[in-house]
């Protein structure tokens, strides 16, 4: 019996070192950011499914904001983006994150109305020009 168990275990070659390093794939942070912006609603629904509804829509949206911030930092390190543009986009994301936390408190973990969700998804596109508020006449 013992011999058969050992026969099932693959033989390790001690002559070759095992490569324990994770495989590094080439990626462009700006592409990842763009993919997160374009597919945000899908990613939000996937997170909600994965958490069995444990995370509210706003919490899942905040995950997207944080993912984009992380890759924005990476893009700056890799010099894919100028420090000035990085700071401008970062400022927009920080404001958006603050707004989300405030909204989450007001809505008591309820999902925002669909119109509000669409507006937030629009604001997530940090590369789009910010909408100008209409001035009071």
pLDDT tens digits, one per residue of 80-115: 999 999 999 999 999 999 999 899 889 887 899 999
Per-residue pLDDT for 136 more than 60? no
Domain of residue 50: give its range. 29-124
Question: Does residue 16 belong to any structural domain of this protein?
Answer: no
Q: Using one digit for the tens of pLDDT, what is the confidence trace for 3-50? A: 565 565 555 555 555 555 555 566 789 999 999 999 999 999 999 999
Q: How many domains does the chain have?
A: 1
For residue 7, give both structure tokens: 């026969």
In a domain, 79, yes or no: yes
Q: Identify whether 92 is part of a domain.
A: yes
Q: Does the residue 53 lie in any domain?
A: yes
Look at residue 134 and tell me if it is in a domain: no
For the whole prediction, is pTM greater than 0.85? no
- Tell whether 135 is covered by a domain: no
The answer as to whether 95 is a domain residue is yes
The answer to the question of residue 91 being in a domain is: yes
With pLDDT > 90 as the criterion, what percentage of the chain qualifies?
61
C-alpha–C-alpha distance, residues 38 and 32, integer Å: 10
DSSP 102: H
């Amino acid at each position: 019996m013992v011999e058969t168990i050992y026969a099932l275990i693959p033989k390790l070659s001690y002559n070759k070192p095992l490569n324990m390093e994770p495989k590094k794939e080439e990626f462009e942070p700006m592409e990842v950011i763009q993919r997160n912006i374009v597919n945000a609603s899908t990613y939000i629904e996937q997170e909600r499914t994965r958490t069995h509804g444990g995370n509210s829509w706003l919490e899942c949206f905040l995950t997207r904001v944080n993912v984009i911030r992380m890759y924005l930092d990476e893009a700056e390190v890799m010099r894919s983006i100028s420090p000035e543009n990085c700071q401008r986009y970062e400022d927009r994301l920080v404001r958006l994150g603050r707004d989300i936390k405030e909204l989450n408190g007001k809505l008591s973990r309820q999902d925002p109305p669909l119109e509000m969700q669409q507006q937030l998804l629009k604001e997530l596109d940090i590369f789009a020009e910010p909408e100008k508020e209409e001035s009071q006449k």
